[in-house]
Amino acid sequence: MDLLRQIVAEALEPDYARAVVSGHRARSRVWALVGAIATCALLVAAVAQHAHGAPSDQAQREQLARQVIQLQGEVQAKKATVRSLNSDISTLQAEQLPAAQTDLLRQAQVDAGATRLTGPGMVVTCDDAPQARSSDGRVADTDLRVMVNGLWEAGAEAIAINGQRITSTSAIRSAGSAITVNYMSLIPPYRVVVLGDPTQLPARLADGPAGTWWTYLHNNYGLVWSVSTSTNLTVPAATVVALLHARAHR
C-alpha cells in the first residue's frame, strides 16, 4: 500500500520532473529577453522620432517668437498714433471751445478717466498667500472689487490696478485662473495706485469694510496686503472710454 501511495503521489520520475521545471525556467528567460529587446526597440524609436521632430519644433517656436515681436511692434506703433491723435484733438478743442467749456470738458475727462493724472496718494499691494496650494490662498476678483469699492469709500480720487485705470465702466472679473481688469489679464501682485489725501486714506481704508475684509483674508488664509504713501503717483488714462449715453444741450 505504501508503494501504491508513493506511485500516485509521484507520478513522474524525479529526474523527469526536474527536467520539466528546468524547461519552464528556460522559456521564461527567453520571454523575458524578448520583452527587454522589444522595450529597447520602442525606446530607440521614440528617441529617434523626438530627434527628428526637434528641428521642426524649434522652427515653429522661432516663427511664433518673430510673430510676437512683430505684433508688439505694431501695437506700439498704434499706441503712438493714438497719442498723436489725442494731442491733435486737445489742440483743436483748445482752439475752438470757449474757456468755460474747455474747463467743463477737462473736468468731464477727469471724471471719466480719460486723462492721465499725477498727485499724492498711496499704493496698496495685494498678493497671494506665500506657497498658496488652493484657491483660498489666492486673490480673487471679488477681493479686488471689495478693495476698489473700499478705496472709493475712503476718499480715492483716481485708481489704477497694474496700470489699468478704474472707471465707472471698468470690469474686474475672473477668466480661468487669471483676473481681468478692463478685459486685460493681470498677474499678482496687484499694485493698486490710489490718488487722494495720503494723510487720510490709509486710516479710512483700514477702518472701512475693505480693510476689515482683507484683514480677515490675511488672518485666515495668509493673503498679503500692504499700504505705502507717496507724494508723487501717476494713474494712466483709461485705454478705452466708451460713450454710452449722450444728450445735446439746447
Mean pLDDT of the chain: 82
Measured on CA atoms in the order 189, 186, 171, 196, is the torsion positive or negative?
positive
Q: Of 166, 129, 122, which Cα lies nearest the Cα of 144?
A: 166
Report pLDDT for 177. 81
Question: Could you read off the pLDDT of 28-69 as tens digits, one per residue?
Answer: 666 776 777 878 777 777 777 766 666 677 778 888 888 888
pTM exceeds 0.75, yes or no: no
Total residues found in the chain within this entry? 250
CB 109 within 8 A of CB 115: yes
Question: Could you read off the pLDDT of 151-187 as tens digits, one per residue?
Answer: 999 999 999 999 999 998 899 999 888 899 988 999 9
Q: 112 burial class (0-12, 13-18, 19+ CB within 10 angstroms)?
A: middle
